């Protein structure tokens, strides 16, 4: 059973995944938190600085005893059981408490091998456990996932720095469209547990900005954060609304013939 976690208005959790404080990401973190703190209470999880361990501890999965037989239960069930019986490690509990309070989640990272750094993936693995972030069903027996669940009522801003230019990582780019590359994050992680992602905030050519470019990108992020409350949402389709009825594939009568990932967005307006 998932416990719903209503967020506290005016709060934010900023999760930062870059190892160097003097990097572009370090500058964006400090400026961004400063801008966001003007009207919000901001908690920062600087994963590298705090030495966050991205690896699951097998000792938390069965009776807290390393080396115990796991049996037939799946990993999600084992983590849900650890959550229900207060066996999760203290560092995970702290992150869950901060996330449960937050109305806004900011995820900031460099694009490494066309995805987030491993330390952030490990944060998802360890923090978004069954029983905390998902695992319940509604009164019709539909799993409370994809737009519903323990963390619904929140929005997320993904801030990503990329070494490539906007063309090479755009819709026709040789590296693939960034929206599609990060679909596993925006839809498969955030929307899965009920968090609505805003439009990506992308810094292109991150390795060649120079001093003027750095100043420009810092100001652009600060402006975005100051106006964040005025941004319209871009929600995906919710599982509970029936668009995937029966097979978990989008109904044939909706956008027939299309197979791109954009089909999972709700129509504008």
> For the domain that residue 109 is a member of, what is the CATH number?
3.40.50.360
The answer to whether position 157 is within a domain reads yes
Number of compact structural domains in the chain: 1
| Residue-averaged pLDDT of the chain | 89
The answer to whether position 179 is within a domain reads yes
pLDDT in tens, 18-52: 999 989 999 999 999 999 999 999 999 999 999 99
pLDDT in tens, 133-188: 988 777 777 788 888 888 999 999 999 999 888 888 888 888 889 999 999 999 99
Q: What is the mean predicted confidence (pLDDT) over 57-61?
A: 79
Spatial distance between the Cα atoms of 46 and 200, rounded to a whole number of angstroms: 20
Q: What is the mean predicted confidence (pLDDT) over 100-106?
A: 96
Spatial distance between the Cα atoms of 245 and 248, rounded to a whole number of angstroms: 6
The answer to whether position 5 is within a domain reads no
The answer to whether position 2 is within a domain reads no
* pLDDT confidence tier of residue 94, bands split at 50, 70 and 90: very high
Query: DSSP secondary-structure letter at 259?
Result: -
User: Who has greater pLDDT, 3 or 61?
Assistant: 61
The answer to whether position 205 is within a domain reads yes
Residue 106 β-bridge partners: 14, 157
The answer to whether position 269 is within a domain reads no
Task: To the nearest 10°, report the CA torsion of 67, 70, 71, 75.
Answer: -170
Residues recorded for the chain: 269
Do the beta carbons of residue 164 and residue 113 sit within 8 Å? Answer: no
Sign of CA dihedral 248, 250, 251, 257: negative
Spatial distance between the Cα atoms of 94 and 100, rounded to a whole number of angstroms: 10
Domain with 145 in it: 11-264
The answer to whether position 113 is within a domain reads yes
The answer to whether position 6 is within a domain reads no
């Amino acid at each position: 059973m998932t416990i719903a976690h209503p967020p506290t208005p005016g709060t934010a959790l900023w999760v930062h995944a870059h190892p160097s404080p003097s990097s572009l990401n370090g500058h964006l973190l400090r400026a961004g938190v400063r801008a966001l703190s003007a009207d919000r209470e901001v908690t920062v999880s600087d994963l590298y600085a705090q030495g966050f361990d991205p690896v699951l501890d097998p000792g938390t999965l069965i009776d807290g005893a390393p080396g115990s037989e796991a049996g037939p239960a799946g990993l999600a069930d084992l983590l849900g059981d650890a959550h229900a019986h207060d066996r999760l490690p203290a560092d995970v509990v702290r992150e869950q408490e901060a996330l449960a309070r937050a109305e806004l989640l900011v995820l900031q990272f460099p694009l490494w091998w066309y995805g987030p750094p491993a330390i952030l993936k490990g944060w998802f693995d360890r923090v978004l456990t069954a029983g905390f972030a998902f695992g319940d069903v509604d009164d019709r027996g539909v799993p409370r996932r994809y737009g519903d669940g323990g963390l619904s009522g929140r929005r997320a801003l993904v801030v990503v720095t990329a070494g490539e230019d906007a063309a090479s990582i755009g819709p026709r780019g040789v590296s693939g469209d960034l929206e599609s590359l990060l679909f596993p994050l925006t839809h498969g992680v955030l929307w899965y547990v009920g968090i609505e992602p805003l439009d990506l905030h992308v810094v292109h050519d991150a390795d060649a900005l120079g001093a003027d470019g750095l100043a420009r990108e810092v100001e652009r992020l600060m402006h975005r954060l100051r106006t964040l409350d005025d941004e319209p949402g871009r929600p995906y389709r919710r599982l509970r609304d029936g668009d995937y009825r029966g097979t978990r594939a989008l109904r044939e009568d909706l956008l027939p013939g299309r197979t791109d990932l954009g089909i999972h967005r709700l129509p504008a307006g």
